[in-house]
Each structure stands twice: as structure tokens, then as C-alpha cells.
Amino acid sequence: MTKEENNGAAEELQIQSKKALKKQQKEAEKAAKKADKQAKLAAEQQTTSEEDFAKDRYGQPAMVQSQQKPDRVLVRIQDLTPEKADQLVWVRARIHTSRAKGKQCFLVLRHQQFNVQALVAVGDRASKQMVKFAANINKESIVDVEGVVRKVDQKIESCTQQDVELHIEKIFVISLAEPRLPLQLEDAVRPDGAGDEEGRATVNQDTRLDNRVIDLRTTTSQAVFRLQSGICHLFRDTLIKKGFVEIQTPKIISAASEGGANVFTVSYFKTSAYLAQSPQLYKQMCICADFEKVFCIGPVFRAEDSNTHRHLTEFVGLDIEMAFNYHYHEVVDQIADTMVQIFKGLRDNFTTEIETVNKQYPSEPFKFLEPTLRLEYKEGVAMLREAGIEMGDEEDLSTPNEKLLGRLVKEKYDTDFYILDKYPLAVRPFYTMPDPSNAKYSNSYDMFMRGEEILSGAQRIHDPDLLTERAIHHNIDLEKIKAYIDSFRYGAPPHAGGGIGLERVTMLYLGLHNVRQTSMFPRDPKRLTP
């Protein structure tokens, strides 16, 4: 090392030490400030512990480990109505927001999609320290609150319980949330565009889905999934009344049911298996086994690498299969009626939920006709041609054309739900029964909601010879579907059916734009968590 370099290094050292010195000074100052603050806080606490007369009325009790069974009724927030005025009640809820203002603190307590305004004010029931404690509880913490229900003169517009507020006498934290939330609930329920005007934030979909547990707490999500549960319930209820039997089918299957390209392969001991794309084969086998009318609610899997607003890789399928007497329209009518019963049930029993979702995602009310409108594919094509669309007779409907046809049907018939019957045979799976009067067409149908397909169904071929012929026509390896074809050899009744995607029905009924909004924990080619 030369001298110069040495010098240079020394200088550098000096500079460094200078810097370090400054840093140290700063840190010392900081520490002093901190100590000061702490001292102040301690002093405050000391004085408070001396004076606090309400110290038994708030705090963070020990973790609930089921040590006791207190004789305490927790009233639900939705039940806090003027009838309960002047009663002393216990409530368990989350801290939605809190706003301290001098000697009082306003809280909004939330339970599911309901909320109420609560108030802690310094007085003979609450001390200064208690108000401060209440104001400092982190958002989203769960609290047990005892308070008096009081009528209010002016409606509280921001809450669902507008006519009362809760005057808190005791408040205990049951579960403390972390101070920083990955997303704010208010931001997550703001309608698209409304944020821009006020310069406020909205939360994008990926952030929502990454923090799904919090996003699911929003009023909109709560309403969506309560309504979705309603769809399943109405589906089951209607079909059971019609004499259907609910069945459970395996999801691990040995051969792909509808074309081999879009199935998930799983390793199955020494061989491989597939995840079911639909319970198609099994529900048909149940028909051959004399169950006559069956339905099944369960997961179905599609390994399609399509990232669209309406594709998921796992979704819930509502499947129907039914033996009929002479014409497959017997089945179509049953399915259509089931859908209509669902729409009616939602309209009548889920008004609040629909309104809640509409607040964030406005849409027109869902319209349907009774009996359901049934158009033939040919008529649909004719309507599209009339609107200037060029397409072949046997061409499948593209998504834009499907949507356009939906608009045309809505304009002409004023319905958001209709059936398109008699699809070209060429665009349907091999087990679809050909139309007896025109070999180019088939006894198959799709059902549409707001111009998007929700159900695909058909009369199935119940004759093993015709089934074999069609399979060969579709270049399907007969060996692989032997068991399926064989099940029709011992007497099989004519039958038809269809499968609906639960998420799609929810999405389209509510007029939402993305199927991920109606899937609780969506799975798509890019998302496997949460």
C-alpha cells in the first residue's frame, strides 16, 4: 500500500467517523425523546391506575379456552331495533371503525352484513381511560360489549341499524386484530368509479383475492355468498319436491368423460387417474341403475388454460340427469322450471342481499318468462344474421355472438333467461342424440343468463350400437370408454340432463362481471392460493 492511499483511507475513516458521530447523536436524541415519552406514559398510567374507577369495565381478558359458561345472552346486531330500546344487552361484534372526539368515542360495531353505531362517553359508567382504551382498539378486533340500546332522533345513515345506537358500559377485547390491515373494508365496497371522483382508493381484484378472508367480510361478499347458498338450497329443494334423488359421484376417475385435452392428471399409486370434468358418466349410470331422476352438487375440474372472466379450473357443478318417457323436452321443461323456481326464490327471499350487491355493482333486475322461452338454434342464427352477423348454419356460437344474441332476445322478448334448442350435431359431444328429422342437428340445448351460457345439456344416446358409432365418428378410443358403453347393454331408458356452474349462475343473476367474485376461494390457471 502506498502512502497516498493510506492517507486517503485515513481521511475516509475520518469522514466515516464523523458521519457515525452524527448518527450517534441523532440516535441519542431519539432515545432521549423515547425515554421521555415513556416516562410520561408511565406517569400517566400511574395516575390513571390511581384514579380509574372503571377499570373492571374494560380490558383484554384471558383467551377464551372454554373455562366458563357465563349465563349471558349475546344479542345479534340485526336484532338491535327500537323494540329493544332502553334495554341493557350484550353484543359480540367487530370494531368496524372508531372515531374518538374529546370525551367520547364513536364506534361502528359490525356483525356479518349488519352494523350499529356505539358510543363510549366519559360519565359515571365510563372513565377517561376507558374511552381512550376503546378508541385505541385496532380495527377488525372482536369485542364483547355491554350497553344500553337508545333510540336516536336522527337516522344514522351509515349503519344498517338506523334507529338505535348502543351506549357502551363495558367493553372487552376477545380477539385483537393486528393494527395494519392488508386492505380497508370501506375501500373494498366502494363502487367502481366512485373512488376516482372522491380521490379515494378502490381495491383491485388480485389484492382482494390474496386477502380473501378480509375481503369476504365486506357487506357485498357476505351478500353474494349468502345468495349463493340460497341457490344450492333452492336447487335441492325444488328437485327433491319433483321426486329427484341426490347422488354423490367419485371425482377421481379413470378416463376423461368429455374429450381428453382438458383434464387434470393425478398420480394414482402405480398408475394415473383424472379429476372429473363432470359427473356425466356416473349420473348416466345411475339412470341405467333405475334411479330415474338424479342430481348431484359437487366440484368439477377443467384443465383449460383460459384466463377469462368466466372460467375457473375448479367450480361447483349442479348436475341433473333424468329418464323421460317419449320426448326430451320433458326434461328440458323440468330443468327450466327448476331454474325459474330458483330465480323466484332469490327474488322473493334474498331482496336484502340483492340490494346490497347492487349498491356496489349496479345492475338491472333479472328478468325471466314463465314458461321459459325456447328458441331453436336456427332461429337464433337467423336473428344474428338479421343483425348483420355472418355465420354458417352449423357453426358454433362465438362468445361475442352469444352475448349479442342475448341482447337481441332481451330486446325482443324482454327476458334474461332463455333456452337455445337443437344445436348442430357437429359441435356437441359424441354421446349427444342426433335429431331424428335432420341429421345435421341434435337433441341438445344450452341455457343462457344475461347472454352467457350457464347450462349445457342434451338427450344422451342410450343405445350402445349408436353410441359406438358416434364414438368412432369422433375418433374416441373405444377401449377407454368400454365400461361406459357397456352400461347401456342391459336395458337403458331414454334420458337427458344438463350441468350448471354454480358460480356462473350467481355471477349472472347478480349481473357481476367476474366469476372470481362468486367463487369463495377461486382456482384458475394462475391462482392456487389462498
Contacting residues toward other proteins, per CB under 8 A: 361-364, 387-389, 400, 404, 407-408, 410-411, 511
d(CA 306, CA 300) in angstroms, rounded, equals 16
Judged by beta carbon, residue 200 or residue 407, the one nearer other proteins is 407
Find the catalytic residue in 302, 428, 450, 460: 302
Find the catalytic residue in 92, 212, 236, 311: 311
Find the catalytic residue in 141, 444, 456, 519: 456
Judged by beta carbon, residue 313 or residue 360, the one nearer other proteins is 360
Find the catalytic residue in 57, 110, 167, 504: 504
Annotated catalytic residue 453 = yes
What do you get for the CA distance between the two ends of the chain, in Å?
59
Q: Which helix (H) or strand (E) holds 331?
A: helix 329-349
- The DSSP code for 98 is E
The CA-based diameter of the chain, rounded to the nearest angstrom, is 107
Residues forming a β-bridge with 94: 110, 142
Annotated catalytic residue 83 = no
Find the catalytic residue in 167, 310, 450, 495: 310
CB of 299 to other proteins, least distance (A): 31
CB of 389 to other proteins, least distance (A): 8
Annotated catalytic residue 516 = no
Judged by beta carbon, residue 179 or residue 191, the one nearer other proteins is 191
Find the catalytic residue in 292, 304, 379, 394: 304
Provide the CA 301 distance to its chain's centre, in angstroms.
18
CB of 364 to other proteins, least distance (A): 6
- Using DSSP, state whether 33 is helix, strand or coil: helix
Judged by beta carbon, residue 79 or residue 192, the one nearer other proteins is 192
* Cβ-contact 364, 411 below 8 angstroms: no
Judged by beta carbon, residue 91 or residue 381, the one nearer other proteins is 381
CB of 193 to other proteins, least distance (A): 11
Which amino acid appears at position 452 of this protein? E
Judged by beta carbon, residue 99 or residue 407, the one nearer other proteins is 407
Judged by beta carbon, residue 142 or residue 408, the one nearer other proteins is 408
d(CA 309, CA 332) in angstroms, rounded, equals 28
Annotated catalytic residue 527 = no
CB of 398 to other proteins, least distance (A): 11
Annotated catalytic residue 150 = no
Annotated catalytic residue 314 = no
d(CA 361, CA 511) in angstroms, rounded, equals 8
Closest CA to 226 of 106, 354, 342, 323: 354
- The DSSP code for 441 is B
Judged by beta carbon, residue 168 or residue 420, the one nearer other proteins is 420
The phi and psi torsions of 469 (rounded to 5 degrees) equal -60, -45
Annotated catalytic residue 385 = no
CB of 373 to other proteins, least distance (A): 16
d(CA 436, CA 421) in angstroms, rounded, equals 14
d(CA 291, CA 418) in angstroms, rounded, equals 28
CB of 220 to other proteins, least distance (A): 15
Exposure of 509 by Cβ count < 10 A (0-12 exposed, 13-18 middle, 19+ buried)?
Answer: buried
Provide the CA 54 distance to its chain's centre, in angstroms.
43
Between β-strands 271-275 and 265-268, what pairing exists: parallel, antiparallel or unpaired? antiparallel
Backbone torsion region of residue 172, taken as left when φ is above 0, otherwise alpha when ψ lies between -120 and 50, otherwise beta: beta
CB of 184 to other proteins, least distance (A): 25
In degrees, to the nearest 5, what angle opens at C-alpha 474 toward C-alphas 471 and 478?
40
* Cβ-contact 276, 257 below 8 angstroms: yes
Find the catalytic residue in 140, 165, 314, 453: 453
Provide the CA 337 distance to its chain's centre, in angstroms.
25
Residues labelled as active-site residues: 302, 304, 310-311, 453, 456, 504
